[in-house]
Amino acid sequence: PAAAGAGDSGGSFDIGLPGAEEGKVVTRFPPEPSGYLHIGHAKAALLNQYFADLYKGKLLVRFDDTNPSKEKDEFVENILKDIADLGLRYDRLTYTSDYFPQLLDLGEKMIRAGLMYADDTPVEQMREQRLKGIESACRNRSVEENLRLWAEMKAGTEIGLTNAMRFKIDMKSVNGTMRDPVAFRCNLAHHWRTGYKYKLYPTYDCACPFVDAVEGVTHALRTSEYRDREEQYYWILAAYQKVWPGLPNVHIWDYSRLNFVNTVLSKRKLTWFVETGRVESWNDPRMPTVQGILRRGMRIEALKEFILSQGASKNITFQEWDKIWTINKKLIDPVCPRHTAIEVDGRVLLTLEDGPAEPEVVMVPRHKKYPPAGKKALTRANQIWLEQVDASSLAEGEEVTLMDWGNAIVKSITRDPSTGAVTALSGMLNLDGDVKKTRLKLTWLAAVPQCEVVPLQLVDFDYLITKKKVEEDDNFMDLVNPTTRFEKIAVGDPNMRTLQKGDVLQLERKGYYIVDEPYGVKGTSRPIVLFCIPDGRAK
Ligand code: ATP
Ligand code: MG
Ligand code: MG
């Protein structure tokens, strides 16, 4: 039965885990080290943590490393970093590969009990037979024959390589996952941890129920699209319990898979973006990976709040990125310092006829409502830069407000006769004017050498995928957005020189940004690289 969804009660669920006892619950997060963690994995990790905490139990983290062809040290290291960034507090870190000896022992016991058989039906044909519910000719091989082939498989011989070891379940089941799934298969590739020691490996279906039970996992959380596999999991676990006395029970509990609009969340597909150079790396700010979204300016607390507000609903839905970025904005806005940037392209000099002939430096707060953000130096002078968009919206005689200074009155506007663009402005200060009565509050920077502005590169991004809801039979490669990175050159106030990588700020009247490359690390001639942080508002 579908569970009731949680309300917006700030991260609590209406339902609990079946058969859960306080102090005895053990959950686990089992990533396969075949990529970096993405936001869907973050949901899995945080839900497991949530239930472990709720019942004062334990959380295990297990590298599910049963496929040597896909797994790498790089992925293990980065998943560990992601887990640390997510703030997971786990009791033990384990590896499915730790259990290879026991799993091989188990395989032999299963063969002796007549619960597994070796099958050399070619892969395509086996798939066809499973689809149609046709029994393989190998299904009734004798125990002796199966043990002989098991030895060939363990040695990775030519004969071994042509065989797969299958569970003998039920080829006539209406549930396709029950039609004798593969349990062990040879693979001669180097395993990131055990090297060339093993020539055959358990499948996920084979290893997972055993390792869950052996590690004392009481509740195995799985995404609900694996619902069909529940029957299979319980059959396999029950079969193991027959040949491996004392193996405890495990409850499966499923929850909905997280999907996002304009996004693919499968490691196979994300790998393609990395390998074809469409993104810089797994931590590219366009990637839906934990590292990608953190680099883009997401706060971990926003990610947690979003995931726990999802509740326990089992409906598979597409989430809007705007929703999570809105949560994020509410966290960063009250605390992040404010700075000023002026786009270089088309900027206009405003001469203030009664402005200070000698530039004046005053200290102003970095955030008016948040004193801990500190102060910044502001240079006032008789020549200042405005952006073209602002300059071209002015009228002669209009009173405007210069932010952090006061009012001024526009006296003359000079335009390029052919394009109509504003090329120069003049005005007079009117510091007694009422800042509440002006239509425009302008961002500006002093245009004098004493105000050592700093070059900025402002970078914005678009979705990697053009289609809102990617469906099962879509070929994602047909949906790739050709242009996803946009750059603008600007200058920023001198205080920005001290910003560090990862600092979040607001550029007044532009939006929120995160520092990706601070000033001076790659030489002082390079601009500070700022990534625009989405704020959840449609552009
Ligand atoms: P992918 O399809 O991205 O390769 P996976 O399930 O093969 O995902 P694993 O490393 O095996 O990747 O996943 C670790 C855990 O995260 C599993 O429990 C899996 O069910 C869960 N998980 C994976 N993707 C999602 C998602 N989109 N939403 C929620 N949980 C997910
Ligand atoms: Mg998996
Ligand atoms: Mg997968």
What DSSP letter does each residue of 149-172 carry, written as one string?
HHHHHHHT-HHHHH-EEEE---TT
- Nearest ligand for residue 267 CA: 1
Helix (H, G, I), strand (E, B) or coil at 47: helix
Q: How far is the CA of 424 from the centre of ligand 2 (A)?
A: 62
Is 140 a pocket residue for ligand 1 (Cβ < 6 Å)?
Answer: no
pLDDT digits (tens, 9 = 90+) for 34-49: 999 999 999 999 999 9
Residues of the chain with pLDDT under 70: 1-15, 311-316, 539
Residue that the structure tokens 């990790």 belong to = 45
Which of 508, 493, 499, 494 shows the shortest CA–CA distance to 530?
Answer: 499
Q: How far is the CA of 23 from the centre of ligand 1 (A)?
A: 27
**Which residue among 60, 63, 222, 223 is best mutated to probe the pocket of ligand 1, counting the most ligand atoms within 8 A of its Cβ?**
223
> Which residue numbers are catalytic?
32, 257, 267
Is 44 a pocket residue for ligand 1 (Cβ < 6 Å)?
Answer: yes
Q: How far apart are CA 176 and CA 502, in angstroms?
A: 48
Residue 11: the pLDDT is: 44
Q: How far apart are CA 409 and CA 430, in angstroms?
A: 7
Average pLDDT of the chain, as a whole number = 94
Q: How far is the CA of 477 from the centre of ligand 1 (A)?
A: 21
Residue 354: the pLDDT is: 97
Is 375 a pocket residue for ligand 1 (Cβ < 6 Å)?
Answer: no
Is 533 a pocket residue for ligand 1 (Cβ < 6 Å)?
Answer: no
Is 229 a pocket residue for ligand 1 (Cβ < 6 Å)?
Answer: no
Q: In what order do the strands lie in the sheet with 182-186?
A: 116-119, 164-167, 182-186, 200-202
Beta strands in 440-508 (DSSP E): 441-442, 445-446, 454-461, 485-492, 504-507
Nearest ligand 1 atom to the CA of 221 is 18
Residue 366: phi and psi, rounded to 5, are -75, -25
Nearest ligand 1 atom to the CA of 34 is 10
Which of 307, 296, 219 shows the shortest CA–CA distance to 42?
Answer: 307
Tokens matching residue 53: 């905490």
- Nearest ligand for residue 34 CA: 1
Is 269 a pocket residue for ligand 1 (Cβ < 6 Å)?
Answer: no
**DSSP class of 224:** G
With a CB cutoff of 8 Å and minimum separation 6, the contacts of 513 are: 297, 458, 504, 505, 506, 507, 530, 531, 532, 533
Q: Are 324 and 309 in contact (CB under 8 A)?
A: no
CATH numbers and ranges of domains, the chain: 26-257 (3.40.50.620), 342-451 (2.40.240.10)
Q: How far is the CA of 31 from the centre of ligand 3 (A)?
A: 10
Is 498 a pocket residue for ligand 1 (Cβ < 6 Å)?
Answer: no
Q: How far is the CA of 488 from the centre of ligand 2 (A)?
A: 40
Residue 311: the pLDDT is: 63
Phi and psi based region of residue 536 (left: phi greater than 0; alpha: psi -120 to 50; beta: remaining): left
Which residue has the least CA distance to atom 16 on ligand 1? Answer: 41
Q: How far is the CA of 123 from the centre of ligand 2 (A)?
A: 21
Which residue has the least CA distance to atom 14 on ligand 1? Answer: 31
**Which residue among 36, 41, 307 is best mutated to probe the pocket of ligand 1, counting the most ligand atoms within 8 A of its Cβ?**
41
Is 317 a pocket residue for ligand 1 (Cβ < 6 Å)?
Answer: no
Residue 129: the pLDDT is: 97
